[in-house]
Amino acid sequence: MSQSYLSEGLYSVVSQRDERVEISLSSADHPIFKAHFEGMPLLPGFLQIDIIAEILEKEIDVITSAKFVQKILPEEQLTYIISPTKSGVRVKLLNANEELCGDFKLKWSDKAD
Amino acid sequence: MNTNLSTLLEFLPQKAPVGFVKEVLVCEEHESRTVVHFDVSPTLPMLSEAGAQSSIFLRLTEEKKAANVPIRAMGILVSVKSKWLDKSDKKSFEVETKYVSNLDSFFIVSFTVFDGEVAVAEGQVAAVLEQKGKTL
Protein backbone atom coordinates (compact mmCIF):
# COMPACT_ATOMS: atom_id res chain seq x y z
CA MET A 1 0.00 0.00 0.00
CA SER A 2 1.49 3.34 -1.02
CA GLN A 3 0.08 6.65 0.07
CA SER A 4 -0.92 9.31 -2.47
CA TYR A 5 0.40 12.86 -2.63
CA LEU A 6 -2.62 13.98 -0.63
CA SER A 7 -2.64 11.27 2.02
CA GLU A 8 1.11 10.88 2.56
CA GLY A 9 1.74 11.31 6.27
CA LEU A 10 -1.95 11.97 6.90
CA TYR A 11 -2.62 8.66 8.62
CA SER A 12 -0.96 5.50 9.80
CA VAL A 13 -2.49 2.05 9.90
CA VAL A 14 -2.74 0.83 13.50
CA SER A 15 -4.16 -2.60 12.75
CA GLN A 16 -5.67 -4.44 9.84
CA ARG A 17 -7.44 -7.75 10.11
CA ASP A 18 -10.32 -9.30 8.23
CA GLU A 19 -12.86 -6.59 7.55
CA ARG A 20 -11.65 -4.15 10.18
CA VAL A 21 -8.99 -1.48 9.66
CA GLU A 22 -7.89 0.94 12.35
CA ILE A 23 -6.00 4.11 11.54
CA SER A 24 -4.60 7.06 13.40
CA LEU A 25 -4.74 10.54 11.90
CA SER A 26 -1.85 12.99 11.91
CA SER A 27 -1.76 16.25 13.81
CA ALA A 28 -3.29 19.48 12.56
CA ASP A 29 0.11 20.41 11.13
CA HIS A 30 -0.51 18.21 8.09
CA PRO A 31 -1.08 20.25 4.88
CA ILE A 32 -4.52 18.68 4.39
CA PHE A 33 -5.74 19.93 7.75
CA LYS A 34 -4.25 23.36 7.12
CA ALA A 35 -6.11 23.56 3.82
CA HIS A 36 -9.43 22.07 4.93
CA PHE A 37 -10.15 24.43 6.47
CA GLU A 38 -7.87 27.28 7.52
CA GLY A 39 -8.25 27.51 11.29
CA MET A 40 -10.86 24.73 11.26
CA PRO A 41 -9.08 21.44 10.54
CA LEU A 42 -11.39 18.65 9.37
CA LEU A 43 -10.74 15.47 7.43
CA PRO A 44 -12.33 16.02 3.98
CA GLY A 45 -15.12 13.64 3.07
CA PHE A 46 -13.46 12.48 -0.12
CA LEU A 47 -10.37 11.40 1.81
CA GLN A 48 -12.51 9.40 4.24
CA ILE A 49 -13.29 7.20 1.25
CA ASP A 50 -9.96 7.42 -0.55
CA ILE A 51 -8.00 6.35 2.55
CA ILE A 52 -9.70 2.98 2.88
CA ALA A 53 -9.54 2.41 -0.88
CA GLU A 54 -5.82 3.18 -0.73
CA ILE A 55 -5.19 0.82 2.19
CA LEU A 56 -7.05 -2.05 0.53
CA GLU A 57 -5.64 -1.16 -2.93
CA LYS A 58 -9.07 -0.64 -4.44
CA GLU A 59 -10.36 1.73 -7.09
CA ILE A 60 -13.76 3.29 -6.51
CA ASP A 61 -16.05 2.78 -9.49
CA VAL A 62 -19.34 3.97 -8.01
CA ILE A 63 -20.25 5.84 -4.86
CA THR A 64 -23.76 4.50 -4.44
CA SER A 65 -24.15 6.67 -1.37
CA ALA A 66 -21.78 8.35 1.04
CA LYS A 67 -23.12 9.93 4.20
CA PHE A 68 -20.88 12.14 6.29
CA VAL A 69 -22.41 11.96 9.71
CA GLN A 70 -19.89 13.52 12.03
CA LYS A 71 -16.86 15.76 11.58
CA ILE A 72 -13.45 14.15 11.96
CA LEU A 73 -10.62 16.05 13.60
CA PRO A 74 -6.81 15.67 13.55
CA GLU A 75 -5.26 12.97 15.74
CA GLU A 76 -8.48 10.95 15.86
CA GLN A 77 -8.37 7.16 16.00
CA LEU A 78 -10.74 5.74 13.39
CA THR A 79 -11.99 2.29 12.50
CA TYR A 80 -13.26 1.18 9.12
CA ILE A 81 -15.62 -1.80 9.09
CA ILE A 82 -16.17 -3.31 5.68
CA SER A 83 -19.00 -5.69 4.83
CA PRO A 84 -20.18 -7.03 1.48
CA THR A 85 -23.55 -6.08 0.05
CA LYS A 86 -25.50 -7.48 -2.88
CA SER A 87 -23.96 -5.00 -5.27
CA GLY A 88 -20.70 -3.94 -3.64
CA VAL A 89 -19.46 -3.10 -0.19
CA ARG A 90 -20.62 -1.08 2.78
CA VAL A 91 -17.95 0.75 4.73
CA LYS A 92 -18.74 2.19 8.12
CA LEU A 93 -16.32 4.64 9.66
CA LEU A 94 -16.32 4.88 13.45
CA ASN A 95 -14.46 7.13 15.83
CA ALA A 96 -12.73 6.06 19.06
CA ASN A 97 -16.07 6.20 20.88
CA GLU A 98 -17.56 3.80 18.31
CA GLU A 99 -19.75 6.63 17.02
CA LEU A 100 -20.62 6.56 13.33
CA CYS A 101 -18.75 9.24 11.37
CA GLY A 102 -19.31 8.01 7.83
CA ASP A 103 -21.42 5.42 6.06
CA PHE A 104 -20.38 4.55 2.51
CA LYS A 105 -21.95 2.18 0.00
CA LEU A 106 -19.47 1.61 -2.79
CA LYS A 107 -18.62 -0.44 -5.80
CA TRP A 108 -14.90 -0.97 -6.10
CA SER A 109 -12.42 -3.10 -7.96
CA ASP A 110 -8.83 -4.12 -7.44
CA LYS A 111 -6.49 -1.34 -8.38
CA ALA A 112 -4.52 -2.01 -11.53
CA ASP A 113 -0.73 -1.71 -11.17
CA MET B 1 -23.96 39.28 -15.22
CA ASN B 2 -21.33 41.78 -14.15
CA THR B 3 -19.42 39.52 -11.80
CA ASN B 4 -15.66 39.46 -12.23
CA LEU B 5 -15.21 35.72 -12.45
CA SER B 6 -11.49 35.89 -11.73
CA THR B 7 -12.14 37.18 -8.22
CA LEU B 8 -14.58 34.43 -7.27
CA LEU B 9 -11.96 31.89 -6.22
CA GLU B 10 -11.50 33.80 -2.98
CA PHE B 11 -14.89 32.37 -1.97
CA LEU B 12 -13.48 28.84 -2.10
CA PRO B 13 -12.73 27.83 1.51
CA GLN B 14 -10.65 24.82 0.47
CA LYS B 15 -7.04 25.79 -0.17
CA ALA B 16 -4.17 23.98 -1.87
CA PRO B 17 -3.62 21.05 -2.02
CA VAL B 18 -7.35 20.31 -1.72
CA GLY B 19 -8.68 23.39 -3.49
CA PHE B 20 -9.32 21.77 -6.86
CA VAL B 21 -11.19 24.61 -8.59
CA LYS B 22 -8.73 26.73 -10.56
CA GLU B 23 -11.07 28.89 -12.64
CA VAL B 24 -14.73 29.88 -12.64
CA LEU B 25 -16.21 29.97 -16.13
CA VAL B 26 -19.91 30.37 -15.34
CA CYS B 27 -21.52 31.62 -12.15
CA GLU B 28 -25.28 31.83 -12.61
CA GLU B 29 -28.29 31.44 -10.38
CA HIS B 30 -28.82 27.73 -11.03
CA GLU B 31 -25.77 26.70 -13.03
CA SER B 32 -22.02 26.99 -12.69
CA ARG B 33 -19.05 25.76 -14.65
CA THR B 34 -15.48 25.58 -13.42
CA VAL B 35 -12.05 24.32 -14.43
CA VAL B 36 -10.61 21.86 -11.92
CA HIS B 37 -7.11 20.49 -11.76
CA PHE B 38 -5.42 17.69 -9.84
CA ASP B 39 -1.73 16.88 -9.46
CA VAL B 40 -2.47 13.24 -10.36
CA SER B 41 -5.26 11.47 -12.20
CA PRO B 42 -8.16 11.87 -9.78
CA THR B 43 -10.12 9.18 -8.01
CA LEU B 44 -13.92 9.24 -8.11
CA PRO B 45 -14.04 10.68 -4.57
CA MET B 46 -11.68 13.48 -5.69
CA LEU B 47 -13.95 14.27 -8.65
CA SER B 48 -16.93 14.27 -6.30
CA GLU B 49 -15.15 16.74 -4.05
CA ALA B 50 -14.50 18.88 -7.12
CA GLY B 51 -18.24 18.74 -7.83
CA ALA B 52 -18.97 19.90 -4.30
CA GLN B 53 -16.43 22.71 -4.55
CA SER B 54 -17.84 23.81 -7.91
CA SER B 55 -21.32 24.01 -6.43
CA ILE B 56 -20.11 26.90 -4.28
CA PHE B 57 -20.35 29.04 -7.41
CA LEU B 58 -24.09 28.61 -7.81
CA ARG B 59 -25.70 31.89 -6.81
CA LEU B 60 -29.07 30.59 -5.56
CA THR B 61 -30.05 34.09 -4.51
CA GLU B 62 -33.78 33.50 -4.05
CA GLU B 63 -33.36 30.07 -2.51
CA LYS B 64 -30.86 31.34 0.05
CA LYS B 65 -33.05 34.34 0.83
CA ALA B 66 -36.12 32.16 1.33
CA ALA B 67 -34.11 29.81 3.56
CA ASN B 68 -32.63 32.74 5.50
CA VAL B 69 -29.16 31.62 4.51
CA PRO B 70 -26.44 34.25 4.00
CA ILE B 71 -25.16 34.71 0.45
CA ARG B 72 -21.65 33.82 1.62
CA ALA B 73 -22.75 30.74 3.49
CA MET B 74 -20.42 27.81 3.99
CA GLY B 75 -21.64 24.41 2.84
CA ILE B 76 -21.24 21.39 5.07
CA LEU B 77 -21.12 18.30 2.91
CA VAL B 78 -23.73 15.80 4.05
CA SER B 79 -23.84 13.19 1.32
CA VAL B 80 -22.53 12.27 -2.11
CA LYS B 81 -23.38 9.80 -4.82
CA SER B 82 -21.42 9.55 -8.04
CA LYS B 83 -20.19 7.26 -10.77
CA TRP B 84 -17.72 7.12 -13.56
CA LEU B 85 -19.25 7.38 -17.03
CA ASP B 86 -16.02 7.09 -18.98
CA LYS B 87 -12.85 6.72 -16.91
CA SER B 88 -10.17 9.23 -17.72
CA ASP B 89 -6.54 9.57 -16.70
CA LYS B 90 -6.47 13.30 -17.40
CA LYS B 91 -5.67 15.78 -14.65
CA SER B 92 -7.77 18.77 -15.75
CA PHE B 93 -11.50 18.83 -16.32
CA GLU B 94 -14.48 21.15 -16.48
CA VAL B 95 -17.25 20.65 -13.95
CA GLU B 96 -20.82 21.74 -14.55
CA THR B 97 -23.14 21.98 -11.58
CA LYS B 98 -26.88 22.49 -11.52
CA TYR B 99 -29.25 23.26 -8.70
CA VAL B 100 -31.65 20.37 -8.11
CA SER B 101 -33.70 21.29 -5.04
CA ASN B 102 -33.58 22.52 -1.49
CA LEU B 103 -35.52 22.28 1.71
CA ASP B 104 -34.66 25.30 3.79
CA SER B 105 -30.87 25.25 4.12
CA PHE B 106 -30.48 21.68 2.82
CA PHE B 107 -29.44 21.87 -0.83
CA ILE B 108 -29.02 19.20 -3.50
CA VAL B 109 -26.86 19.91 -6.53
CA SER B 110 -25.98 17.70 -9.49
CA PHE B 111 -22.60 17.75 -11.17
CA THR B 112 -21.09 16.47 -14.39
CA VAL B 113 -17.36 16.25 -15.03
CA PHE B 114 -16.22 16.82 -18.60
CA ASP B 115 -13.02 15.93 -20.39
CA GLY B 116 -13.48 18.15 -23.42
CA GLU B 117 -16.91 17.26 -24.77
CA VAL B 118 -16.99 13.88 -23.05
CA ALA B 119 -18.81 13.48 -19.74
CA VAL B 120 -16.54 11.27 -17.63
CA ALA B 121 -18.35 11.29 -14.28
CA GLU B 122 -21.57 12.52 -12.74
CA GLY B 123 -23.23 12.66 -9.39
CA GLN B 124 -25.09 14.61 -6.75
CA VAL B 125 -23.96 16.31 -3.59
CA ALA B 126 -26.10 17.39 -0.66
CA ALA B 127 -24.97 20.08 1.72
CA VAL B 128 -26.34 22.14 4.55
CA LEU B 129 -25.54 25.81 4.14
CA GLU B 130 -24.60 27.64 7.28
CA GLN B 131 -23.26 31.06 8.07
CA LYS B 132 -19.48 30.88 7.95
CA GLY B 133 -18.11 30.05 11.35
CA LYS B 134 -21.49 29.30 12.85
CA THR B 135 -21.37 25.54 12.83
CA LEU B 136 -17.89 24.48 11.93
pLDDT over 70 (residue B132): no
pLDDT over 50 (residue B1): no
pTM comes to 0.94
DSSP string, chain B: ----GGGGGGG----TTS--EEEEEEE-SSEEEEEEE-SSPPPHHHHHHHHHHHGGG---HHHHHHTT--TTPEEEEEEEEEEESS----SEEEEEEEEEEEETTEEEEEEEEEETTEEEEEEEEEEEEE-TTT--
Residues of A in contact with B123 (CB under 8 A): 63
Domains of chain A: 11-110 (3.10.129.10)
pLDDT over 80 (residue B56): yes
Residues of B in contact with A40 (CB under 8 A): 136
pLDDT at position B135 is 38
Report the greatest alpha carbon distance in chain A.
42
DSSP 8-state symbol, B15: -
pLDDT at position A19 is 94
pLDDT at position B133 is 45
Contact A60 B45 (CB under 8 A): yes
The CA distance from B106 to B127, in Å, is 6
Task: Write down the CATH superfamily of domain B5-130.
Answer: Hotdog Thioesterase (3.10.129.10)
Residues of A in contact with B17 (CB under 8 A): 5-6, 31-32, 35
Average pLDDT over residues B99-106: 95
pLDDT-derived band at A10, boundaries 50, 70, 90: very high
Average pLDDT over residues A93-107: 98
Mutate which of B10, B14, B18, B106 to disrupt the A interface (most A C-beta within 10 Å)?
B18
* Listed range (B61-70, B80-89, B110-119) with the worst mean pLDDT: B61-70
